[in-house]
């Protein structure tokens, strides 16, 4: 484990919402649930680039059953700090998911627009099942109804960074989740 306080960007945080230890424990818990629920099934994890990669890597190691993974590129943020209503698909799947059990691994569920578009696209590829696992849920920002089978933490209506979440491509490597100082964001 890393010491978040020794990370250079830690000084840019106003406050820590979730420590590395809390995140690791939750990922292990989710991995155990997924392992039990999908035992004996052909499971493919599909992560959304870029933020979901950190969560995917840790979740993949916590799952104890055979599993494959793929990534898709989808964004509703672009270079902005707020979600837009336009979802852009930037990378499609490489694996064939037809008749496979697919679990979308998402870092944060905010407006729900990106996941709605992704769910609609993946359904056309005829998976045996299609569900979502999100580590961070911000229900206050929801614009469309999305059902997550697995949810790690519910977040307050604050802009957060760390553990894959970024501000203009910065802070993804922080092992904790925190609220950045306004002046740190303004200088990006």
pLDDT at 166 over 70: yes
Q: Is 169 left (phi over 0), alpha (psi -120 to 50) or beta?
A: left
Q: What is the pLDDT of residues 126-147, one digit of tens each?
A: 999 999 999 999 999 888 999 9
Domains and CATH numbers, the chain: 20-164 (3.40.50.2020)
* Band (114; pLDDT cuts 50, 70, 90): confident
pLDDT of res. 76: 64
Measured between alpha carbons, how far is 179 from 143 in angstroms, rounded to an integer?
23
What integer best gives the mean pLDDT of the chain? 91
Is 110 considered catalytic here? Answer: yes
pLDDT of res. 55: 97
pLDDT of res. 85: 58
pLDDT of res. 150: 98
Radius of gyration of the chain (CA): 16
Instruction: Answer whether 179's CB lies under 8 Å from 159's CB.
Output: yes
pLDDT of res. 90: 82
Report the pLDDT averaged over residues 39-57: 94
pTM over 0.85: yes
pLDDT at 75 over 80: no
Residue in 58, 110, 137, 166 annotated catalytic: 110
pLDDT of res. 77: 52
Q: How far apart, in Å, do the first and last CA atoms of the chain sit?
A: 28
Q: Comparing 110 with 31, which gets the higher pLDDT?
A: 31
* Band (113; pLDDT cuts 50, 70, 90): confident
Of 167, 165, 180, 129, the C-alpha closest to 53 is 165
Give the chain as a 3 state SS string: CCCHHHCHHHHHEEEEEECHHHHHHHHHHHHHHHHHHCCCCCEEEEEEECCHHHHHHHHHHHCCCCEEEEEEEEECCCCCCCCCCCCEEEECCCCCCCCCEEEEEEEEECCCHHHHHHHHHHHCCCCCEEEEEEEEECHHHCCCCCCCCEEEEECCCCCCEECCECECCECCCCCCEEEECHHHHHCC
Tokens 């250079």 sit on residue = 8
């Amino acid at each position: 484990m890393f010491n978040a306080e020794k990370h250079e960007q830690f000084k840019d945080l106003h406050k820590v919402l979730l420590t590395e230890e809390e995140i690791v424990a939750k990922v292990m818990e989710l991995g155990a649930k997924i392992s039990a629920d999908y035992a004996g099934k052909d499971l493919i994890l599909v992560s959304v680039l870029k933020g979901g990669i950190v969560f995917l890597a840790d979740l993949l190691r916590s799952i104890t059953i055979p599993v494959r993974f793929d990534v898709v590129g989808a964004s509703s943020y672009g270079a902005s700090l707020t979600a837009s209503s336009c979802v852009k698909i930037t990378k499609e799947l490489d694996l064939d998911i037809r008749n496979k059990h697919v679990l979308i691994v998402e870092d944060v569920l905010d407006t729900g627009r990106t996941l709605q578009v992704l769910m609609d696209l993946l359904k056309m590829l005829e998976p045996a099942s299609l569900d979502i696992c999100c580590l961070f849920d911000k229900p206050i920002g929801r614009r469309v109804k999305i059902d997550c089978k697995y949810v790690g933490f519910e977040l307050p209506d604050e802009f957060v960074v760390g553990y894959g979440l970024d501000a203009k491509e910065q802070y993804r490597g922080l092992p904790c989740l925190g609220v950045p100082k306004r002046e740190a964001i303004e200088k990006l």
